Chain A
Amino acid sequence: MPRKRNLMRADRLGYVVGGVALIVWALRRPGLLRAGVGGLGGWLLYQAYTGSNPMFKPLGIHVNPQPAQPHIAETLVVEEAVTIARPREEVYAFWQRSENLPLAAEGEVELTREAAGEELAWRTMRAEKLMHFGSLTLRDAPGRRGTIVMARLEYVPAGGSLGAVLARVTGRSPQRLVADCLRRARALLETGEAPTTTGQPAGRR
């Protein structure tokens, strides 16, 4: 079965360059190092050839080769969900305020769709530093447990999917920002506050 392509186009070029560089470097090294580094280079070339990196799935990296925005060639997709023990109208009203939207801090956004109580979609103004667009879909949770909010965000990563992998590992990824945004919304809507430890006292560090 052919593997699903999941590398970004820019990545493929990078993988070819990186793979060739590693192999060339390895050619002039002693046996074990040559085998190891050369093998790594070969593996990168193979991934560039298949267009697929098997590590992406476990790392949760998901490329969309045909995003709905015509002027964007490729995006990375983030999907997160949260259940909030409040009625749908209240949850919707909270997110109508655009400062509450995921990644609102990353630049100004405009709302592109508003279906009361059901869906909100937005995109960044063109020149923002992180180009992204996304939507929030609301539905009732079963058993009157409140509202399920599904967030979908697409963005153009700085540094391609390698950058995205690094961001995931260091924890500063859009994935985390979206998840934290949903969690903060739940805390605010359910309790009226979002707890923090910012600014708390400490001993000598």
Chain B
Amino acid sequence: MVKGDILGHEFMGEVVELGAAVINLKRGERVVVPFPIACGNCFFCQKAMFSLCENSNPNAGMAEKLWGYSPCGIYGYSHLLGGYAGGQAEYVRVPFADVGPLRVPDSLSDEQVLFLSDILPTGYMAAENCDIQPGDTIAVWGCGPVGQFAIASAQLLGADRVIAIDRFPERLRLAAMKLGAETIDYSEDNVLEALKELTGGRGPDACIDAVGMEAHAYHDIAYAYDRMKQAMLLESDRPVALREAIMACRSGGTISVAGVYGGLIDKFPAGALMNRSLTIRTGQTHVQRYMRLLLARIEKGEIDPSFIITHRMKLDEAPAAYRMFRDKQDDCIKVVLTP
């Protein structure tokens, strides 16, 4: 990112102007915009892998250098993914608008549908990737917005038990009280031991990493090592939760990674992965694939995503909102900004 970039990849709004080829939308309609920019016609879009769209990242060459091939473009995000101006603004340009935006019914409020843009589908895809069977126990690292929706989705998809892991009491409380998850506070307990005990000595059937590359840890030698290597620019990401999820997962199980990683990691437990027949599934969310189905679930009252909102602020107050979110002040979980 560079100074002056317009942030925001989770947004909705009213259509004010349309390109000539967009015939499925009208001015004045209320739409939610999925964060992956996808053309709808390429090999990947045709396979409903929208976040891998080959035609939407004008900086694909940069991404190829780092990752081999390029995924789709994303609003208000790294320039590796196009550097498109984002949605924390009064107006935003939406490329391929005949493919992405979802019209939403008047019967639902903005706050009920806004998270269809990213984190609700992200939690849902994380749970879907676990291939949940009756009787399964799912463990979720991270009780931020993505973790909360992963917990709720695992339940919708038939998990018997969900175990949520974090250190912030308000987040653990939300997972327990609102969603009925069991919780582990990693500032107090040894997560691996606690999970082993809670799952009758076998481990969770699937593990969801809803933390990503900025994971935090106490008294962990590998964590100290990661921080040191990051400081020396020898490692870009801090995969504490990912390592733990792999070690914790039952043999033959799945690790579903929703948390974002950007570059290289160290001390990756490849031995556990290989010898215990584990599967890793991951990706930027193919949001367009899930929006309609999740909208239907919201309409039926099966889930009301607005439960994660803790703060509502004006766009002008964004800097304060970012500070609060970063420092986890005032029990902040999710802030919604309006112009």
Please determine whether A197 and B83 come into contact, CB atoms closer than 8 angstroms. Answer: yes
- Give the 6 A-B CB pairs with smallest separation, nearest first: A205-B4, A187-B55, A203-B4, A202-B4, A191-B39, A190-B41
Contact of B42 among A85, A200, A201, A203 (CB under 8 A): A85
For B39, give the chain A residue with the smallest CB separation: A191
Provide the residues of chain A in CB contact with B4, threshold 8 Å: 202-205
Please determine whether B61 and A171 come into contact, CB atoms closer than 8 angstroms. Answer: yes
SS of A interface (majority)? loop
A186 at the interface (CB under 8 A from B): yes
CA distance A203 to B96 in the complex (A): 24
Within the complex, what minimum Cβ distance (angstroms) separates B69 from chain A?
11
Please determine whether B43 and A83 come into contact, CB atoms closer than 8 angstroms. Answer: yes
For B57, give the chain A residue with the smallest CB separation: A195
A99 at the interface (CB under 8 A from B): no
Contact of A180 among B54, B61, B83, B96 (CB under 8 A): B61
CA distance A180 to B179 in the complex (A): 48
Interface size band for B: 20 to 34
For B70, give the chain A residue with the smallest CB separation: A183
- One digit per residue, 1 when the CB lies within 8 angstroms of any chain A CB and 0 when it does not, for chain B 46-57 equals 100000001111
B60 at the interface (CB under 8 A from A): yes
A70 at the interface (CB under 8 A from B): no
Given contacts A85-B42, A202-B4, A202-B85, whether A176 and B58 have CB atoms under 8 Å apart is: no
B320 at the interface (CB under 8 A from A): no
A66 at the interface (CB under 8 A from B): no
CA distance A2 to B95 in the complex (A): 53
Q: Which of B1-16 contact A (CB under 8 A)?
A: 2-6
Within the complex, what minimum Cβ distance (angstroms) separates B333 from chain A?
27
- One digit per residue, 1 when the CB lies within 8 angstroms of any chain A CB and 0 when it does not, for chain B 149-169 equals 000000000000000000000
Please determine whether A192 and B21 come into contact, CB atoms closer than 8 angstroms. Answer: yes
B35 at the interface (CB under 8 A from A): no
Please determine whether A85 and B41 come into contact, CB atoms closer than 8 angstroms. Answer: yes
Given contacts A190-B55, A205-B2, whether A183 and B60 have CB atoms under 8 Å apart is: yes
7 residue pairs A–B, Cβ–Cβ below 8 Å: A85-B46, A186-B55, A190-B55, A197-B83, A200-B93, A201-B89, A205-B3
B residues sitting closer than 8 Å to A (CB atoms) are 2-6, 21, 37, 39-43, 46, 54-58, 60-62, 64, 73, 82-85, 89, 93, 95-96
Please determine whether B43 and A85 come into contact, CB atoms closer than 8 angstroms. Answer: yes
- One digit per residue, 1 when the CB lies within 8 angstroms of any chain B CB and 0 when it does not, for chain A 153-193 equals 00000000000000000010000100110010011001110
CA distance A201 to B89 in the complex (A): 10
For A173, give the chain B residue with the smallest CB separation: B61
Within the complex, what minimum Cβ distance (angstroms) separates B94 from chain A?
11
A9 at the interface (CB under 8 A from B): no
Within the complex, what minimum Cβ distance (angstroms) separates B187 from chain A?
38
Please determine whether A186 and B84 come into contact, CB atoms closer than 8 angstroms. Answer: no
Please determine whether B85 and A195 come into contact, CB atoms closer than 8 angstroms. Answer: no
A145 at the interface (CB under 8 A from B): yes
CA distance A192 to B99 in the complex (A): 14
Please determine whether B41 and A191 come into contact, CB atoms closer than 8 angstroms. Answer: yes
Given contacts A85-B41, A201-B6, A202-B6, whether A195 and B55 have CB atoms under 8 Å apart is: yes
Please determine whether A203 and B5 come into contact, CB atoms closer than 8 angstroms. Answer: yes
Q: Which of A116-133 contact B (CB under 8 A)?
A: none
Given contacts A192-B21, A195-B56, A197-B58, whether A187 and B39 have CB atoms under 8 Å apart is: yes
Please determine whether B85 and A190 come into contact, CB atoms closer than 8 angstroms. Answer: no
Q: Most chain-A CB neighbours within 10 Å: which of B42, B57, B93?
A: B42
Please determine whether B84 and A171 come into contact, CB atoms closer than 8 angstroms. Answer: no
Provide the residues of chain A in CB contact with B5, threshold 8 Å: 202-203
Within the complex, what minimum Cβ distance (angstroms) separates B103 from chain A?
22
CA distance A155 to B77 in the complex (A): 36
Provide the residues of chain B in CB contact with A180, threshold 8 Å: 60-61
Provide the residues of chain B in CB contact with A202, threshold 8 Å: 4-6, 85
Contact of B95 among A145, A176, A186, A195 (CB under 8 A): A195
Within the complex, what minimum Cβ distance (angstroms) separates A92 from chain B?
19
Please determine whether A200 and B37 come into contact, CB atoms closer than 8 angstroms. Answer: no
Please determine whether A200 and B54 come into contact, CB atoms closer than 8 angstroms. Answer: no
